[in-house]
């Protein structure tokens, strides 16, 4: 900025976090502060010298503050280029004093529409006009004026100003952040307007707008992706659902990897599906062990025993606070755990996990406060080359009153318990999914096979004879009777599946021949 002008900063913010110390720092550096409405009052309450914007422009704020910064002397002071002859003439002619710094963030539109019961009128009133105009103007003219849009930038800006002025590199970084903010803001408004005007469209259009964008913030860089040669990072939503992995907190251990995050997400999803104490053992997003019991320690014992070979280097999920009895089992010799996610860890249990086992320094311990909360319906995104697939998440409860017994024999009381357990687990297994279970314990999983018969064969092999008298869950219908015959050979006595195959009669006949009972749920749970 030219030495012929005083150092001036325009300050107009909605989020006033850490604002006063920053502005005091600018004042100490010789800046005059010009501000608006609530921001000015905040600064004055902190005894910070500030000039009201109306005093500078000679024009009052009108329409309850709707019009205050949309003025030539404001935008001239932002967009002017003092070293350009034509701009310098205009600056002098109109008594404009250029700003060196503009500090601005926007009305809380997204926070407003997130509130329950907010009206359209309330939402519209939180659409900022002057703020985005100032931000964009400053960002465009960043060679002359620095744009500050977030409290996280305050210290960097002060440190550089103490050395003289902002570097061009910093100005460009601030500009990128500014345009990112306004783009996200406009996208939120556009999405909201599309949502409230979709009543005249069909149901499909209401759920899936014609234009769709995602606003995410980088939470962390990852060491690498699925493999060491792949770069990766973890991005989260602006206000993530408290039941989601994005809201979980890491208490201990090495940094999380790409694969850790995928497995932890699956562990969280499965374990929270049960009301009884439950434990799940995850490998490659599929449960190799899962169980429910009267206590968490018993549930873990049963879950780990489901496939102890695959359990080495696994991710563990619990739906109860982890206690010392469970940790004693976790820390047994020859067990290696990559990560654990649970609602919480008892103090002594946490101490044991971080001091006793050989892998104490490496194990990631995660907590999710959302275990006791019901997740709200949400969308699921899957990237494909050149595009994005959107669908409703398959995480809502099945209507059990629509289940039907398709065979001559009704399930016993224990079979009903195990059938519900198997069906709960099955929806989390990669299709074609087959799970064998007995007494609230997963004893065999067939996942991700091209043939349902192959999945049934693998699940039987994994069960190693433990499935006798148990149940089988299938995420989709059995297209032929061979899958049921395979289950019968493994000692399975009850089946739960969606039904709907043209060969349902043959499958029912096979069950009757084997003395099995079978439930049709009427709902498929493919997980590709």
Reading the block at residue 295, the tokens are 């206590």
Reading the block at residue 51, the tokens are 């000039």
Reading the block at residue 479, the tokens are 């297209």
d(CA 395, CA 376): 9
Helix (H, G, I), strand (E, B) or coil at 451: coil
Please compute, for residue 203, the number of CA atoms within 13 A of its CA located in the half-sphere on the CB side.
0
- For 11-33, b/e burial (b = at least 16 CB within 10 A) is bbbbeeeebeebbbbbbeeebbb
Helix (H, G, I), strand (E, B) or coil at 428: coil
Q: 191, 214 in Cβ contact below 8 A?
A: no
User: Mutual orientation of helices 168-196 and 154-163 as an angle, nearest 10°?
Assistant: 150
> Within its chain, how far is the Cα of 455 from the centroid?
31
Rg over CA atoms, the chain: 30
Reading the block at residue 153, the tokens are 């930038």
Report, as residue numbers or ranges, the catalytic residues: 140, 284
Find all residues with CB under 8 Å of 427, minimum gap 6, and list them.
394, 433, 475, 525, 527
Q: 452, 307 in Cβ contact below 8 A?
A: no
Could you please report the per-residue DSSP string of 312-326?
TTEEEEESS-B-HHH
d(CA 286, CA 449): 13
């Amino acid at each position: 900025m030219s030495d012929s002008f005083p150092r001036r900063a325009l300050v107009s913010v909605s989020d006033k976090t850490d604002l006063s110390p920053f502005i005091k720092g600018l004042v100490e550096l010789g800046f005059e502060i010009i501000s608006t409405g609530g921001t000015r009052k905040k600064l004055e309450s902190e005894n910070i010298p500030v000039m009201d914007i109306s005093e500078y422009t000679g024009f009052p704020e009108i329409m309850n503050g709707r019009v205050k910064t949309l003025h030539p002397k404001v935008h001239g002071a932002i967009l002017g280029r003092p070293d350009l002859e034509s701009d310098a003439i205009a600056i002098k002619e109109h008594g404009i004093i250029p700003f060196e710094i503009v500090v601005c963030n926007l009305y809380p539109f997204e926070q407003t529409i997130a509130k329950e019961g907010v009206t359209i009128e309330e939402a519209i009133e939180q659409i900022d006009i002057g703020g985005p105009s100032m931000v964009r103007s400053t960002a465009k003219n960043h060679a002359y004026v620095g744009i500050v849009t977030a409290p996280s930038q305050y210290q960097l800006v002060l440190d550089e100003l103490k050395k003289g002025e902002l570097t061009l590199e910093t100005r460009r970084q601030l500009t990128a952040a500014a345009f990112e903010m306004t783009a996200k803001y406009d996208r939120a408004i556009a999405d909201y307007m599309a949502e409230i005007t979709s009543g005249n469209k069909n149901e499909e259009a209401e759920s899936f707008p014609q234009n769709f964008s995602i606003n995410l913030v980088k939470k962390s860089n990852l060491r690498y992706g699925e493999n060491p040669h792949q770069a990766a990072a973890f991005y989260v939503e602006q206000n993530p659902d408290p039941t989601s992995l994005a809201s979980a907190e890491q208490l201990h251990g090495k940094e999380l990897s790409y694969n850790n995050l995928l497995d932890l997400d699956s562990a969280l999803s499965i374990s929270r599906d049960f009301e009884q104490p439950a434990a799940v053992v995850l490998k490659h997003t599929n449960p190799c062990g899962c169980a429910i019991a009267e206590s968490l320690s018993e549930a873990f014992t049963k879950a780990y025993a489901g496939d102890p070979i695959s359990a080495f280097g696994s991710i563990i999920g619990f739906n109860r606070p982890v206690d010392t009895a469970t940790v004693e089992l976790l820390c047994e010799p020859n067990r290696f755990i990559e990560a654990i996610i649970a609602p919480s860890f008892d103090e002594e249990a946490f101490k044991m996990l971080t001091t006793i086992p050989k892998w104490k320094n490496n194990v990631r311990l995660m907590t999710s406060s959302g275990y006791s909360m019901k997740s709200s319906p949400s969308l699921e995104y899957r990237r494909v080359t050149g595009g994005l697939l959107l669908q409703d998440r398959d995480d809502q409860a099945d209507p059990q009153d629509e289940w039907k017994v398709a065979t001559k024999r009704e399930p016993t009381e224990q079979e009903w318990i195990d059938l519900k357990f198997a069906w709960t687990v099955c929806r989390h297994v990669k299709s074609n999914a087959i799970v064998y279970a007995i007494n609230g314990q997963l004893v065999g999983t067939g996942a991700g096979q091209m043939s349902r018969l192959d999945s049934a064969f693998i699940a039987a092999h994994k069960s190693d004879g433990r499935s006798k008298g148990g149940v089988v869950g299938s995420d989709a219908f059995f297209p032929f009777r061979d899958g049921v015959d395979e289950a019968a050979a493994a000692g399975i006595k009850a089946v739960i599946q969606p039904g709907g195959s043209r060969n349902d009669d043959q499958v029912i006949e096979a069950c009757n021949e084997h003395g099995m009972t079978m439930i049709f749920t009427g709902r498929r749970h493919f997980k590709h």
